[in-house]
């Protein structure tokens, strides 16, 4: 580690704490104290007053972290990535350096995106009722939106709701990069943003208890768990006028929960017209992606929609789960035993996209 000039705001912010913290982390990168060591390093880097020295230190440390990730065994890798990613929240300099370092490695080891295989979709029509096999419940079976919130526990998603920031400059810049065709809100723009999040953010599947991060942090870092990806996706969609919901899901066989989102595609009160909107969205997605993938993990064979009654209005949402890798498409979700729906930002009206 080079000699650096830094300000001393305490033991955590002293550059002299970096070597010992780094040594402890490298000795046990998935240990219980590893994240605290990363936090010490992050604070110390940000305490360096000279910008060039701060950048130099961040690059050197990023190489150390990238090596630790590469050397971690299959059982440890996700824990190591989680520890580093969430420990660096307080150091934008380190986040940028690690993103650049991992981008270099990714480009060197890049493999062509697997071609999608055409499969004939199997249409499912059930009158005017929405198909929601993923939840095993019918939102209109004697329960309203408020009842769903009470049953699923809205407080569990309050942190994610607070993190949704569509006006953030980083979010707006990402939207500008993602959306290919300007104009009124459309299903193509929604798909553009979905594809951008799938492509730009690496899903981190971790057993660590984590809190959602601001979308700007996730977009800059290029990595995040389901909550981080949901917050980033909801923020970008709401930045173009879409209305979103957060979806909390769980299987009885696991103690771990999951989170993804839905985007409103219709407020049409007429059942027949609402069904036509869903069919049009389904056709647009199948045409755009030229396939309907039946992944093993995703037990559902159809695009997933859900209809909720929000303040007296029936609203239809297309469910979006961006955590399943580059072969996923909007509307494909996992199979869950329990689910809860929550307005991402309660009271926000949102527009209806054109198809």
Q: What local confidence, expressed as pLDDT, does residue 188 receive? A: 94
Give dist(CA 198, CA 315) in Å, integer.
25
pLDDT grade for 271, boundaries at 50, 70 and 90: confident
- Is 294 within 8 Å of 196 (Cβ atoms)? no
Q: What is the mean pLDDT of the chain?
A: 75
Separation between Cα atoms, residue 102 and residue 95, nearest integer Å? 11
pLDDT for 141 beyond 70: no
- Tell me the pLDDT band of 310, cut-offs 50, 70 and 90: confident
Question: Ranked by mean pLDDT, which of 31-40, 259-268, 270-279 comes out on top?
Answer: 259-268
Radius of gyration of the chain (CA): 22
Asked if residue 128 has pLDDT above 70, the reply is no
Answer yes or no: are the C-beta atoms of 102 and 65 closer than 8 Å: no
- Stretch 298-323: mean pLDDT, rounded? 82
H or E segment and range at residue 186: none
Residue with tokens 């919130």: 149
For residues 254 and 144, give the distance between their C-alpha atoms in angstroms, rounded to a whole number.
Answer: 27
What is the rounded CA–CA span in Å between residue 55 and residue 124?
55
pLDDT at res. 185: 92
- For residues 187 and 101, which has the higher predicted lDDT (pLDDT)? 187
pTM tops 0.85, yes or no:
no
Res 194: pLDDT: 96
How far is residue 109 from each of residues 104, 106, 192, measured CA to CA in Å?
Answer: 9, 5, 26
What pLDDT, on a 0 to 100 scale, did the predictor assign at position 312?
81
Look at residue 316 and give its three-state secondary structure: strand
């Amino acid at each position: 580690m080079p000699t650096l000039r830094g300000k001393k705001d305490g033991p955590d912010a002293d550059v002299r704490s970096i070597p010992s913290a780094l040594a402890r982390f490298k000795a046990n990168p998935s240990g219980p104290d590893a994240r605290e060591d990363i936090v010490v390093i992050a604070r110390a880097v940000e305490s360096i007053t000279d910008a060039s020295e701060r950048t130099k230190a961040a690059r050197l440390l990023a190489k150390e972290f990238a090596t630790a990730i590469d050397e971690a065994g299959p059982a440890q890798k996700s824990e190591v990535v989680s520890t580093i990613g969430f420990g660096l929240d307080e150091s934008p300099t380190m986040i940028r350096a690690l993103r650049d370092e991992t981008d270099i490695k990714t480009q060197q080891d890049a493999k062509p995106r697997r071609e999608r295989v055409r499969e004939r979709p199997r249409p499912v029509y059930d009158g005017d009722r929405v198909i929601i096999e993923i939840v095993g419940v019918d939102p209109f079976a004697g329960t309203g939106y408020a009842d769903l919130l009470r049953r699923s526990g809205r407080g569990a998603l309050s942190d994610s709701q607070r993190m949704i920031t569509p006006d953030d400059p980083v979010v707006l810049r990402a939207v500008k990069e993602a959306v290919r065709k300007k104009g009124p809100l459309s299903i193509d723009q929604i798909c553009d943003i979905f594809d951008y999040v799938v492509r730009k953010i690496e899903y981190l599947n971790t057993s660590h208890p984590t809190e959602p991060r601001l979308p700007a942090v996730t977009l800059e870092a290029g990595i995040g768990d389901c909550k981080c990806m949901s917050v980033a996706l909801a923020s970008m969609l709401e930045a173009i006028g879409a209305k979103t919901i957060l979806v909390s899901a769980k299987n009885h066989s696991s103690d771990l929960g999951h989170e993804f989102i839905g985007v409103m595609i219709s407020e049409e009160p007429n059942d027949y017209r609402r069904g036509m909107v869903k069919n049009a969205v389904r056709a647009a997605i199948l045409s755009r992606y030229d396939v309907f993938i039946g992944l093993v993990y995703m037990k559902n064979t159809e695009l997933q929609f859900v209809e909720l009654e929000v303040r007296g209005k029936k609203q239809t949402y297309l469910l979006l789960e961006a955590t399943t890798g580059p072969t996923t498409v909007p509307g494909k979700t996992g199979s869950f035993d329990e689910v809860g729906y929550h307005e991402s930002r309660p009271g926000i009206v949102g527009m209806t996209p054109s198809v």
